[in-house]
Structure 1
Amino acid sequence: MTVKNKKILILVFLTGCVLLGYWLWISLRPVKVVAVHDNGNHSYVLVKSFPLTDKGKINWWLKNKDILKEKYDIPQPKKDGNFTVIFWLFGDGYKETDGYDRLCFDDMPPPLNCIDKDAVFSVSNSKNLGTIFTTYDGKYQPQKNGDIVRFTDEFEFK
């Protein structure tokens, strides 16, 4: 093996180590709940450092749902048991409305009462479907045996 090939191999190895280290740092950061808002129909949780993978998001919810209930009183199921909790990335913080595409909260005084819409995860529960986890990549449903399977909407139009 020539010296040039050894240098290239070492560079590739070091680059791989740096990328792996960065991915581990990103995936192991603790989630920070910045704020919780409720509009009577949905609970909105503003977060920083939310897990990147669908499995990570679901596992985080399962591990922290009791803490969220204790600390923030969410979810707040209706009489029929229905609820929806939506997790939004907090991003650059609260902003003024742009009149178009920001999510604004009525429980805060303007002008800084909006965020950019960047939903990363939601949990909903209904009498008909049970619990559904929604991510960018799909919907998942816990089963009675504890498994979590990808949920499919299979409708047949005739």
Structure 2
Amino acid sequence: MTRFKSLCLLLVILAGGIFWWFSQPTKITDVYYSKQLDNYYVIVKHFPVTKKSKIRWWEKNKSLFKEKYHVPVGESDYGISFWTGNYRVDNRTGQDSDLLCFDEIETRAKCIEKDHRPMKIWYRKDKDETIYLFDK
């Protein structure tokens, strides 16, 4: 019986931890704009998991991007890449070759891994079309 109670307690703690993790609000850490690529880079924490919830989050927050980060939502063509992860130092070795680095950051840790991009958005004003690309 003690083994059963321990297992139940472990499952409750595990379920609570999973619920807590997925209930965390998405936090925008940084937003950068590349004139060369005409693209916005948004670093986030706790990004939604499903495609539907990612689109819903974007629809709910795109006015924030227009007002606070000056993304031309609905005014002209734009591209936005959403990235998750923590900043790392680029040591200029082959192991760091898959990093996206932001020169605007003046600290050594100014790169994120390129394979942590859960969503990319393209908007074409001439067709009033939004295209979503999702990570695997």
TM-score between both structures, scaled by the size of structure 1? 0.67
Map 1:36-51 to 2 at 5 A: 36-40=31-35, 41-51=38-48
Cα distance in 1 for partners of 2:62, 2:91 equals: 31
Could you give the per-residue CA deviations for residues 7-43 of structure 1, whole angstroms, max 9, x where no partner exists? 4543443333222211211111122211111112110
Q: In the alignment, is the contact (CA less than 8 A) between 1:34 and 1:90 conserved in 2?
A: no
Mapped contact 2:82–2:119 kept (Cα < 8 A): yes
Identity %: 30
Runs of 4+ in 1 over 6 A off after TM superposition: none
Match of 1:18 in 2: 13
Higher RCO (CA < 8 A, seq sep 6+): 2
- Structure 2 letter corresponding to 1:65: K
Quick one: structure 1 residues 20 and 112, their matched pair in 2 at CA, closer, same or farther if it must change by over 3 Å?
closer
Q: What is the CA RMSD across the aligned residues, in angstroms?
A: 2.7
TM-score (normalised: structure 2): 0.76
Q: Following the alignment from structure 2 to structure 1, what is the Cα–Cα distance between the partners of residues 58 and 80?
A: 10
Task: Give the partner amino acid of 1:16.
Answer: L
Q: Distance in 2 between matches of 1:97 and 1:44?
A: 22
Greater fraction of residues in helix: 2
The aligned runs of 1:114-153 (5 Å cut-off) are 114-117=111-114, 118-126=116-124, 127=126, 130-137=129-136
The range that moved more, 15-24 or 26-35, is: 15-24
Tell me by how many angstroms 1:85 deviates.
Answer: 0.5
Q: How does 1:96-111 map to 2 (within 5 A)?
A: 96=90, 98=92, 100-109=97-106, 111=108
Q: How many residues align?
A: 129
Matches within 5 A, 1:79-90: 81-90=76-85
Residue 59 of structure 1: CA displacement?
Answer: 1.7
Which structure has the larger Rg? Answer: 1
